[in-house]
Amino acid sequence: MVKEVDAKGALIALEDGVEGYLRANDIAKERIEDATQHLKVGDKVEAKFTGMDRKGRQMQLSIRAKDEEDLQETMAEYQSASAGTTKLGALLKEQMKKG
């Protein structure tokens, strides 16, 4: 949940008192100049863990990386399903020729 937000990014409250930081340019695929235009305190967000800022002792988060990962998974599932359909079609065609 968004705990604080300013132009550069948002502080995200995670479970067990852990916090992460979501930079403005990691909010969406398109360029974001001001995070306050896209997020407000209290918003729930789904983001991917992308690293650790040891200096600031915060987790780095990215909505953009999560969205890209979701897209890749969806495309892989679609391609797998398409490949399976093609093989089944070929098997049926072969059986029809025999029978």
64 falls in which pLDDT band (50, 70, 90)?
Answer: very high
In this prediction, residue 70 has a pLDDT band, given cuts at 50, 70 and 90, of: confident
Sheet holding 9-13, edge to edge: 2-6, 9-13, 19-23, 58-62, 48-53
| 33-57: b (≥16 Cβ within 10 Å) or e | eebeebbeeeeebebbebeeeeeee
What's the CATH class of domain 2-98? mainly beta
Over the stretch 41-62, which tens digit does the pLDDT of each residue have? 999 999 999 999 888 778 999 9
**Up-side HSE of residue 11: CA atoms within 13 Å toward CB?**
9
If you ran DSSP here, which 8-state letter would residue 29 be given?
S
**How many separate helices (H) and strands (E) can be counted in the chain?**
1, 5
Predicted confidence band of residue 83 (pLDDT cuts 50, 70, 90): low
Residue boundaries of the structural domains of the chain = 2-98
- Segment 52-81 shows an average pLDDT of 86
Q: What is the per-residue pLDDT for 28?
A: 94
The alpha-helical segments, DSSP class H, found in 1-99 are: 63-98
Give the integer Cα–Cα distance in Å for 95 and 99.
6
Q: What is the pTM of this model?
A: 0.72
Q: What is the pLDDT of residues 20-39, one digit of tens each?
A: 999 999 999 999 999 999 99
What is the pLDDT of the chain when averaged over all its residues?
Answer: 87
